Structure 1
Amino acid sequence: MARLDVRVKTGLRAKAVYATERETREDAVTIRELSLAGAVIEPLGGRPRDFFTLRAQLPPFGEVELLGDVVRMDGGHAAAVRLFYSDRQTSSTLWRYIHSHLQPGTECPYCGQERPADALHCRHCGYYLEFNDQSYLDEHLRETLGARIQNRVKSLPAQQCHRIIGAVEAELLKSRKAPAGWEFVGTCPAMRDVFSMITKVATTDLSVLILGESGTGKELTAKAIHERSARKQAPFVPFNCAAIPEGLLEAELFGYQRGSFTGAAETKKGKFELADGGTIFLDEIGDLSPPLQAKLLRFLEDRIVERIGAKKGKRVDVRIIAATNCDIHRRMEEESFREDLFFRLNAFCIKLPPLRERGEDKVVLARFFLNRICQDGRFPVRGLSEQAVEAIRRYEWPGNVREMINKMRRAAVMAAGDLIQPADLELETSAPVPATTNLRRQVSKSKKDLVLAALRDNDYVIARTARALGISRPSLYSIMKKFNIEH
């Protein structure tokens, strides 16, 4: 039987981080064999209780961090490991290292059968053999996709298989036509990153935490994730945690039985039950009271809804997307928001940039909204004057996109001619942005300069730079992405 991937012999030093039944270990190991989807490592001091992380430098291509699990333990302490796909960049780094260690030969590295010198595909196993092709990795992953999925889904229940099929179908549809409601507009690097994250996380079932100032489009982001997911045919249920009096929040979220309290004239489903099979969007999650935080945390752990007054709970299948415009880290420092709940909600984080940091997108958005408003309301306005465009560029937009939509609506009503003028927008009399915004910019600039200097001092080696700064590698990557720092 042919292998799925080319395997090479190595002597790479690496670290395996994992938990056993008694402790968390970090073993220095040697990678004896390596492929895109597997490895043989030794010595592994104990059998990991679950998945583990393998960290290795692949000179001269850089460092990789791979998630794996042990398939079997061979004699001694050697372990055969299955590696899970992480992302395109990691796979590309892995493949470049493997390719650099390939030994020329007359046998197919997949099935071991004779390989004609000029053959592009093995005549026995059919796999692509043009390893020097720049697009080899994409071609190989495409032709082995079915086999990779088959190897992984054998132990999955039928419900999850349906979701996987739905995710594949969603990707096919997405490549041809964007779904209805996809109304994000913008070309700045920060928004391109947001679009990319939405696309990637939509096909998973991870909980998502959306951070951003008021008016930046948190609910629109949540809807975009839902509409691109395998749950798109099921309900999307938005719920604003700050809009309901605290005494009614539990009843609204979890529901109640008839007669469970004064006024409960009939049994009512809560928002979690209404979203069963779909997605619930919890806006302003930072305003939840401590008792409700505890109940939400318990729900996230067992996915069982307990209505007020009910004798037993009901299991529901719902994806959680939460959002807040508050400084959630400060809330945790003040002990008004639970850290364990934050980590449960923050399986994947999307930070929406404020409009003032989106450069020329301000003008692009203004024209987009004005055009839509004029079409819907039949206003005789055909565009923005040059003076209005300049005023839009200069204005800080403290209310972000929501404020811009309102300003465009007002301008369409107030315009005396066919072009919007600055006076129609009423930007000159708007309240100035607090001075703290300028301080924030200065702090951000200093932070960027510090990171750049540390990268230069450490030859752009991420692990060394992170240690020098006293932060983790993921934190460093996050900072580099925020400031568009290439390495």
Structure 2
Amino acid sequence: MGRLDVRVRTDLESRVCYLSREDRLEERVTIRELSLSGALVDGLSTQLSELFAIRPVLPGTGEVELLAKLVRQGKKGAAIRLFYSDQGTMQALWEHIRDKLPHTDDCPYCSHPDDSREGSCDNCNLYLDFSKKNYLERHIENTFAQRLNIRLSRLNLEHIQKIIHFVDSKLLKIQHRSPDKEFVGTSPAMLCVFSMIRKVAPTEMSVLLLGESGTGKELTAKSLHSLSTRREGPFVAVNCAAIPETLLEAELFGYEKGAFTGAYTARKGKFESADGGTLFLDEIGDLPAALQAKLLRFLEDRLVQPVGSTASRKIDVRIVAATNCDLQGAIAQGAFRTDLYYRLNSFTIKLPPLRERGEDKVRLARYFLDKFSHSENRFLDFSEEALDAIRVHPWPGNVRELENKVRRGFLMAAGEVIDPECMELGQDEPILSVPDPVARPLSQKEHVISVLEQNGYVIAKAARQMHISRPSMYALIRKHDIPMNRPGRRDS
């Protein structure tokens, strides 16, 4: 394939405007060759390293402005790259180029003989019907993938992820996260969670959320509510473990006046408060056996009977339950009802712990730091060592722990940079290599050795597993004086 944009000879008087260290400068130049994406300019005397403005005077249109960047300077002039401007400017530029196209039977893109000038070129497949009013729009659509591919070599992973997020959220209106900004992520595990949320949110199915403490179960429940047809209704959250068992029934189902000592007036419960919306039952595994039976009855008939009342009330509410305990283990021990488990388990979403979310740890840390900075009008940044410490730390307290550590680092930092010590990270503190409540916590040194052994002492692989750089991995090895002459070690 030849060039993506046709190039024509022209003679356009133009102005180049740029900023020097002292002042705003301007030069008069002439555009000798022109395409939609670049130009050959005569008269540019300065080696410009930054973006600058070029303002050609187009016949019949007048002066227009485009952003440009110098590619190279040679004997024939300066080659510059033009960046897409507003649609009107690009259309005016295209019309000037189209009027300058030479009358030839060859394709202006690839020079292949093609005298039809209708449809597409047999060789490069680019559209050739220049008389169409929507030609420019169709041409840019057809060459979008090639234009993006040319730029990909200059993009790193973070750039690519930002582009994908922008396309999805701003252009296609796909929400990869809840309205709560803390609930973010681009790791495969979180993208899977977001996908499941989008699929189940519009339904009326009960949802069971599983995950360690601090992984964002309530944020997930809020997302399910905000993306559902019940979004205009109330969202009511109840922590079943935080309310004494003797009060929990009245809190959930309400009570009548005189139902018990101190019940001076009737009060509706959380179920009735959530009528028309979503009720989030957190720590459902701690629900007492008697209330498990009452919750099961509600899920079957949608009727609520307040304490001290003989009448039942019909309630329209969606149940989202969550727990960080092993419900199947509780069932085996007789602590949780099997029939209630299957009622709640219509759709299950497992939230990954923060230690398994890769670079999401850094993204969340930067979000929290930005929030604290704007709140206190004091703008700080993380050191590279702090970012590596955030990547290495196992975060047994998950997002909640991360927020607290960042808050501490923000308060303890003496200058404009937060070091690991400010957040109490990087010390020889307990680390859980796997979420096993029985296993003895590993120290950081033991954790590093474990990862090295899992990867045959290949530094690059071990660093990737811990989501840190190779130099950071070597620094940990030196810090803990870990010998590298272990059996089975392979060079990295």
The equivalent residue for 1:224 is 223
Residue type matched to 1:282 in 2?
A: L
Whether the 8 Å CA contact 2:178–2:222 is kept in 1: the answer is: no
Residue type matched to 2:400 in 1?
A: R
User: What is the aligned-residue RMSD (CA, Å)?
Assistant: 2.5
C-alpha distance in 2, partners of 1:331/1:423? 40
The equivalent residue for 2:383 is 385
The equivalent residue for 2:192 is 193
C-alpha distance in 1, partners of 2:172/2:378? 35
Matched, 1:208 2:218: no
3-state SS of 1:269 partner: coil
Matched, 1:276 2:257: no
C-alpha distance in 2, partners of 1:412/1:261? 49
Q: How does 1:29-44 map to 2 (within 5 A)?
A: none
Whether the 8 Å CA contact 1:252–1:271 is kept in 2: the answer is: yes
Report the CA distance between 1:353 and its aligned residue. 0.3
Matched, 1:327 2:326: yes
Residue type matched to 2:416 in 1?
A: D
TM-score by length of 1: 0.53
Whether the 8 Å CA contact 2:177–2:183 is kept in 1: the answer is: no
Q: How does 1:398-413 map to 2 (within 5 A)?
A: 398-413=396-411
Change (3 A) 1:208 1:185: same
3-state SS of 1:268 partner: coil
Deviates more, 1:328-337 or 1:172-181: 172-181
Residue type matched to 2:410 in 1?
A: A
Report the CA distance between 1:184 and its aligned residue. 1.8
Change (3 A) 1:176 1:236: closer
Report the CA distance between 1:415 and its aligned residue. 0.7
Residues 224-277 of structure 1: CA deviation (Å, up to 9, x unaligned): 110111101110000000000000000000000001111110000000000000
3-state SS of 2:414 partner: coil
C-alpha distance in 1, partners of 2:291/2:393? 40
C-alpha distance in 2, partners of 1:178/1:340? 32
The equivalent residue for 2:284 is 285
Residue type matched to 2:212 in 1?
A: E
4+ aligned runs moved over 6 Å, structure 1: 176-179, 438-442
C-alpha distance in 2, partners of 1:189/1:177? 12
Report the CA distance between 1:174 and its aligned residue. 5.3
Whether the 8 Å CA contact 1:182–1:224 is kept in 2: the answer is: no
Matched, 1:428 2:426: yes
Change (3 A) 1:352 1:248: same
Q: How does 1:207-356 map to 2 (within 5 A)?
A: 207-356=206-355
Whether the 8 Å CA contact 1:207–1:320 is kept in 2: the answer is: yes
Residues 257-315 of structure 1: CA deviation (Å, up to 9, x unaligned): 00111111000000000000000000000001111101110111000000011121000
Matched, 1:418 2:416: yes
- Rg (Cα) greater in structure: 2
C-alpha distance in 1, partners of 2:304/2:420? 53
Change (3 A) 1:395 1:196: same
3-state SS of 1:417 partner: coil
C-alpha distance in 1, partners of 2:328/2:178? 34
Report the CA distance between 1:176 and its aligned residue. 8.5
The equivalent residue for 2:394 is 396
Report the CA distance between 1:377 and its aligned residue. 2.4
C-alpha distance in 1, partners of 2:428/2:401? 11
C-alpha distance in 1, partners of 2:431/2:293? 37
Residues 92-113 of structure 1: CA deviation (Å, up to 9, x unaligned): xxxxxxxxxxxxxxxxxxxxxx
Residue type matched to 2:349 in 1?
A: I
Residue type matched to 2:356 in 1?
A: E
C-alpha distance in 1, partners of 2:234/2:173? 20
The equivalent residue for 1:358 is 357
Change (3 A) 1:176 1:437: closer
C-alpha distance in 2, partners of 1:424/1:236? 37
C-alpha distance in 2, partners of 1:182/1:346? 28
C-alpha distance in 2, partners of 1:369/1:267? 42
Residues 350-376 of structure 1: CA deviation (Å, up to 9, x unaligned): 000001111222112111211122112
Whether the 8 Å CA contact 1:257–1:307 is kept in 2: the answer is: yes
Unaligned 5+ runs, structure 1: 1-171, 446-487
C-alpha distance in 1, partners of 2:385/2:204? 47
Residues 169-223 of structure 1: CA deviation (Å, up to 9, x unaligned): xxx9955898743542111100000010111111101000000000000000000
Change (3 A) 1:183 1:360: closer
C-alpha distance in 2, partners of 1:177/1:392? 23
Change (3 A) 1:273 1:437: closer
Whether the 8 Å CA contact 1:253–1:270 is kept in 2: the answer is: yes
Whether the 8 Å CA contact 1:379–1:413 is kept in 2: the answer is: no
C-alpha distance in 2, partners of 1:174/1:283? 30
Report the CA distance between 1:431 and its aligned residue. 3.9
Whether the 8 Å CA contact 1:379–1:412 is kept in 2: the answer is: no
Change (3 A) 1:334 1:315: same
Residues 427-471 of structure 1: CA deviation (Å, up to 9, x unaligned): 2347412465487999xx9xxxxxxxxxxxxxxxxxxxxxxxxxx
Change (3 A) 1:178 1:332: closer
Question: Percent sequence identity over matched residues?
Answer: 59
C-alpha distance in 2, partners of 1:178/1:230? 17
Residues 108-130 of structure 1: CA deviation (Å, up to 9, x unaligned): xxxxxxxxxxxxxxxxxxxxxxx
